[in-house]
Structure 1
Amino acid sequence: MFDAVERDIRAIRLPRWGRVVAAEGVVPWLVVDPEGVPVVPIRRFLADFVARDNRPGSVRSYAYDLLRWWRWLRVVEVAWDKATPTEGRDLVLWLKQAEKLRRSPRTKSAATAGTVNPITRKQYLDDRYKPRTTRHSNAVVRSFYEYWIDIGEGPLINPVPRDRARGRRRPNAHHNPLEPFRPDARLRYNPKVPKRQPREIPDERWNELFGGLRSNRDRALLALDVSNGARACELLGIRSVDLDWGDQRVLVCRKGTGAEQWLPASPEAFVWIRLYLADLGESLAPNDPLWWTLRRRDRGDGLRRQPLNYEALRAVLKRANDLLGTNWTMHDLRHTASLRMARDKTLSLRDVQVILGHAHLSTTADVYLIEDEAEVVRRVQRHLVDREQQIQEPTQSVAVGYDASDLTVLFGGTPQ
């Protein structure tokens, strides 16, 4: 019934309708229309989302996906409470071939967009929507409509349906209590996502990257990250009081759970932190952020010190990447630290899980307990070389008492 609607997907262009804005009050981020008025259905959903103890970063992410959904509904001229699986399906089809809306055209990055860096072997981002973006969009839209269906004020059908296999109308109906519950059926229009291997920075490349940094603050940040694999947002949240100089630990606020956790740091990282604080030229109050930068304010009073944010941290790596011709990211540092710990025979997988802050041991095992592809290739190459040498080596003379022709039949080759 819903498939009767046919649209020219390639001809659709999303309008620049509305925007996501920071807000005061319970809901930290809102979707507003061109006049600045909050979109009420989204605001009510986000209020419920916040009440379920979700963090501001997640609220912002959901708001942007719902803004895209609202723009899509305006283009196809369907009211939000009249949407059907056809609209959900067509949005997925549109995301597969569309280019992202950009505030300004690419300049320097236009030549590298979508290409593979010859040094890091990593692909540069392009303007296409990735499968993970589509999957996240589907999850957000489905969650939005589940809320409205549950309270009885939305449509009767969710525009992002599940694809339940035949014979599985009741998920986990015959569940074995000794085994974990299987997740319910996948979303019908979710694209497949290839499993990515963690991106490790080789030691020689790490030395080049570290040498390309311009300040002791930047060296302290990267040395700290590569020693314990903390996430960028966790590093930026460190305060002056969160440094344990005696035991060489730092206290971070974990992403997702918000729990505080002490993480070890290398002696080298604390040396660079000490040098950075000496460069800062002023003592920090206990609850002051640890990382600061100089920025020019609009008030015309020159450079002012302010806490380092994520965009400024990205700029640190961008300057080093431009110098080296690479495209390393902060998450590559986390992968590097994780793989170093996973390969250490003195550390258990449980140790690595605790330091990385994974909720489940299976997450750590699935991502980091893998064979290094480069090492596998080297071992196979050694096997091929050894085999070639064995073929070329002269065969040994036949011992007394054995017939050479019989051994030839049995083992092959040409015994002497």
Structure 2
Amino acid sequence: MSAVDDAAPPAALMPGDLMSRRQRLRLILVLGSLIAVGPLTIDMYLPALPSIVDDFGTTSAAVQLTLTGTLIGLALGQLLIGPLSDAVGRRTPLIAGTALHIVASVSCALAPNITVLGALRVVQGLGAAAAAVIAMAVVRDLFSGAAFAQLLSRLLLVMGAAPILAPTLGSELLRWTQWRGVFAALAVFGVLLLLIAMLGLPETLPPLRRQRGGVLPTVRLYGALLRDRAFVGLVLVAGLAMAALFAYVGGSSFVLQERYGLDEQQFGLAFGAGAVGLIAATQGNVRLLRRWSPQRILVTALIVGSAASVLLLGLAATGIGGLPALLASLWVVLAAAGLALPNAPALALTRHGEAAGTASALLGAVQFGIGAVAAPLVGVLGTGAVAMALVIAGGMVSALLVLVVVVRPGQLAVPEPVEAMAVAAH
């Protein structure tokens, strides 16, 4: 991939337009590696959660707080790294964040107790946030229009595949090592990622295009975003849908392994099968947008998801249908979330195209922040199927209520085509 000139590109020609097919493929591989670090950091240790409970002699709720710590780190990291990368360029925050992720991963593998592990997971999340933010920023630096949407659709496949592979990789690692080995593997991946970033990704934000406004203008911009009722409502909708997703992520290992007796490898397969529905929905969303508006898709997805989540709660409480019925209703909820998660952010971001980077950072922070509350809430309620289903249903039903009462989708004006942004926002 050729280096980017210091001068800003002409309006009609972006730097990525000058790349050959081989250079674009190389870029996809580099950015795909960056995109994968977040899901791997979140999900790879999920099969080991019961083992961590036994090893430290603690509670499942305390162990689920380590997942919360990662989500908090990801949320804070996006708020900090997004504006920072606009000011100093992409490479420095990326390299520093990746190095932080490596150190935190090694430290997690050596953690002496659950408190230290939880704190280190916050740091690990901060480091992982750098890769996710910079990858999306690089795409914005290099591409626009159809090329922008096309590249993001490729990266979306990576974003969908990584959560599927992560628990499966974790469960396979647990055949040969204990839970600490999972964090050692994340450290090794971080080292590879650091080498990829240093050797394969040049600076894509020239000095002339960097922001030098300082802290106060950034704070004022965040304030302006928070005063937009529809924007805030859409961000909450995305966050509540994410809460339902992370309730599943945080509770499924205990429910499927302890209540239904799946081993670590079977859990990895079941978790991956659920994520297939999520991926299929996000990929199908691009086709649906050719026929229906994002508002209509979002409303329909949340109605279906809310109904399926209430059914899930009933099945969990009564035991009717056993594990197959529980998984089937879960997969419908995940598919509905797969449609809601791209469209709610896309509608939000189209309202503030002049501040897309800051709006995207705020959106990501809220999504991971609300998800950080959902994961331990399952543990507080008991880690059983009913507790997981209750939090999932609460997230989906609340998202539908916020959409209807706060956002009012029938009154929502969309100033520009959103198909590309719906692909980008997930």
TM bucket normalised to smaller: under 0.3
Return the index of the structure with the highest Cα Rg: 1
Compare relative contact order (CA 8 Å, sep 6+) and give the higher one, 1 or 2. Answer: 2
Q: Which has the higher strand share?
A: 1
Q: Which has the higher helix share?
A: 2
TM-score norm. by structure 2 comes to 0.26
